[in-house]
């Protein structure tokens, strides 16, 4: 009996103008967004290509004469990835990478628009950098799911109970030995299958379009990301299907259920995420302006260097050049630059903590939970920036270690600080020197980052399903 009801309900859901209209709009949105995305993606690739060429040129000059550490300065920036089409996650509004200065062991964020940047020397990336221009925002698949398909899910399920009742079929169905739990399960599973069909077709179209427009075979990474995104989207859409059924089982007419469903959708998807974000971003997070942070960093460097110098023996201070390669002198340089970098790192962490606070407070919004989960499984947005920061730190250490092992003038085991007086001018092997490339985290790591958001979405689903089941037990089917 369950299979019969499910087959009938699924065919009824698929062959309706309601499904056809929403399906056509979804497909049209994906095609349009794909074209817009490719234009934006080519701009990003052009910027990244020019940056990579400049970085390579700098390293080629450095390996010829390693004492000239200024040649090794590099821009460690985001690598454009097709996963941006899955979830852009406002990545353009984030700092675009880090400026690496080996001699000072410095990693400073590139974009001067970042409040906590404090970059003492900013290299303009390109004329395509239009962070303040709303037209530079690239629509993505998460936008389609978050707005179009969630609305479709409610439209599909708002009359799941009231529609049957008004047509008189609800009484007929329950005149047979059909359990009410089975009836609710049929409505839910059919709606999920229907919305899943539209979602799968949309994802397949995006794969085809990206394959054609990118002029290159899609990697296993993007296919895995699409698979994870499908599961996240299905969990999110399932919630709106249950919300539609909840409105239906709580109403006596389809008209009332439709009105309530639309109000719920507008509140959860449009009003709540935006209002919470605006409220929290208006709060004071005790993060000074960029110029103030720069001044504090310079003061920390000056104070630390002076303090360490005062601790040196008088002979060292009087004969600085003689003892320049000694551990005590090198620690003065190291301590000063470290104090400077610690200030930048501290305020950047505070900035990231502020964003995390916004996310935690937005837990009551399923749209915000979905947005964060989609960003995590795609490896974009804030998750991408934090991962880039981790990689940049690792590269900084790896670069210093390589130079130390290859060209250090110091005795083995001595304290090493990367400085032009500590390394020889013997040329290095360009092929062996570490080169930076932004790498996407593994699928397991991305899924792990998304688990808190997915867990809350799953709890909301379970709560609504239990409520619908309870409510329908006492529903008047006449």
- As a whole number, the mean pLDDT across the chain is 82
Q: What is the mean pLDDT of residues 35-60?
A: 88
Per-residue pLDDT at 112: 42
User: Which of the four pLDDT bands, split at 50, 70 and 90, describes residue 476?
Assistant: low
* CA gap 433, 396 in Å, rounded: 12
List Cβ neighbours of 238 (8 Å cut-off, separation of 6 or more).
Answer: 188, 192, 461
* CA gap 156, 259 in Å, rounded: 14
Please tell me the least confidently modeled range out of 82-91, 302-311, 431-440, 447-456. Answer: 82-91
Per-residue pLDDT at 111: 61
pLDDT(307) > 80 = yes
Q: How crowded is residue 328: how many other Cβ atoms within 10 Å of its Cβ?
A: 14
Per-residue pLDDT at 364: 82
Q: Where are the alpha helices (DSSP H) in 250-313?
A: 254-265, 272-281, 290-310
Reported as a single tens digit per residue, the pLDDT across 157-169 is: 888 777 776 766 6
* CA gap 260, 171 in Å, rounded: 24
The better pLDDT of the pair 176, 267 is held by 267
The better pLDDT of the pair 123, 157 is held by 157
Per-residue pLDDT at 357: 75
pLDDT(176) > 60 = no
196 burial type by CB count under 10 A (0-12 exposed, 13-18 middle, 19+ buried): middle
Per-residue pLDDT at 470: 84
Please tell me the least confidently modeled range out of 27-31, 46-50, 276-280. Answer: 276-280
Reported as a single tens digit per residue, the pLDDT across 217-247 is: 677 888 889 999 999 999 999 999 999 999 8
Per-residue pLDDT at 286: 66
Percentage with pLDDT > 90 across the chain? 28
* CA gap 6, 183 in Å, rounded: 9
pLDDT(87) > 70 = yes
Per-residue pLDDT at 354: 75
Provide the whole-model pTM. Answer: 0.84
pLDDT(434) > 60 = yes
* CA gap 275, 150 in Å, rounded: 19
Length of the chain: 478
Q: What is the mean pLDDT of residues 73-81?
A: 89
Per-residue pLDDT at 126: 31
3-class state of residue 422 by DSSP: coil
Please tell me the least confidently modeled range out of 70-79, 113-122, 197-206, 295-304. Answer: 113-122
């Amino acid at each position: 009996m369950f299979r019969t009801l499910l087959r009938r309900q699924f065919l009824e859901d698929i062959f309706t103008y309601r499904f056809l209209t929403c399906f056509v709009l979804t497909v049209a949105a994906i095609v349009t967004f794909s074209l817009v995305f490719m234009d934006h993606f080519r701009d990003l690739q052009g910027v990244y290509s020019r940056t990579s060429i400049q970085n390579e040129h700098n390293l080629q000059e450095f390996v010829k004469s390693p004492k000239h550490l200024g040649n090794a300065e590099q821009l460690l920036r985001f690598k454009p990835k097709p996963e941006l089409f899955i979830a852009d996650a406002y990545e353009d509004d984030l700092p675009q990478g880090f400026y690496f200065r080996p001699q000072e062991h410095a990693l400073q964020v590139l974009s001067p628009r970042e409040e906590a940047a404090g970059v003492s020397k900013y290299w303009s990336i390109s004329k395509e950098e239009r962070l303040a221009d709303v037209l530079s925002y690239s629509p993505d698949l998460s936008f389609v799911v978050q707005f179009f398909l969630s609305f479709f899910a409610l439209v599909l399920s708002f009359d799941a109970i009231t529609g049957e009742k008004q047509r008189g079929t609800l009484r007929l169905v329950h005149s047979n030995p059909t359990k009410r739990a089975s009836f609710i399960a049929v409505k839910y599973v059919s709606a999920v299958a229907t919305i899943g069909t539209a979602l799968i077709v949309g994802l397949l179209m995006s794969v085809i379009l990206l394959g054609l427009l990118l002029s290159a075979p899609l990697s296993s990474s993007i296919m895995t990301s699409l698979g994870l995104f499908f599961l996240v989207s299905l969990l999110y859409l399932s919630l709106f299907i249950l919300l539609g059924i909840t409105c239906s089982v709580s109403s006596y007419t389809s008209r009332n259920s439709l009105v309530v469903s639309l109000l719920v959708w507008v509140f959860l998807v449009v009003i709540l995420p935006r209002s919470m974000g605006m409220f929290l971003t208006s709060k004071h997070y005790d993060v000074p302006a960029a110029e103030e942070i720069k001044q504090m960093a310079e003061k920390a460097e000056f104070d630390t260097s002076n303090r360490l110098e005062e601790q040196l023996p008088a002979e060292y201070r009087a004969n600085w050049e003689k003892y320049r390669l000694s551990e005590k002198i090198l620690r003065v340089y190291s301590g000063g630059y470290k104090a400077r970098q610690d200030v930048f790192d501290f305020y950047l962490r505070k900035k990231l903590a502020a964003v995390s606070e916004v996310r935690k407070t937005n837990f009551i919004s399923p749209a915000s939970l979905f947005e964060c989960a989609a960003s995590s499984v795609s490896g974009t947005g804030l998750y991408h920036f934090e991962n880039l920061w981790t990689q940049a730190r690792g590269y900084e250490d790896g670069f210093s270690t390589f130079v130390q092992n290859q060209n250090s003038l110091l005795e083995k085991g001595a304290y090493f600080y990367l400085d032009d007086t500590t390394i020889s001018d013997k040329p290095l092997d360009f092929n062996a020197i570490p080169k930076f490339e932004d790498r996407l985290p593994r699928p397991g790591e991305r899924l792990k980052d998304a688990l808190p958001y997915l867990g809350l979405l799953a709890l909301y689903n379970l709560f609504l399903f239990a409520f619908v089941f309870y409510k329908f037990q006492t529903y008047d089917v006449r």
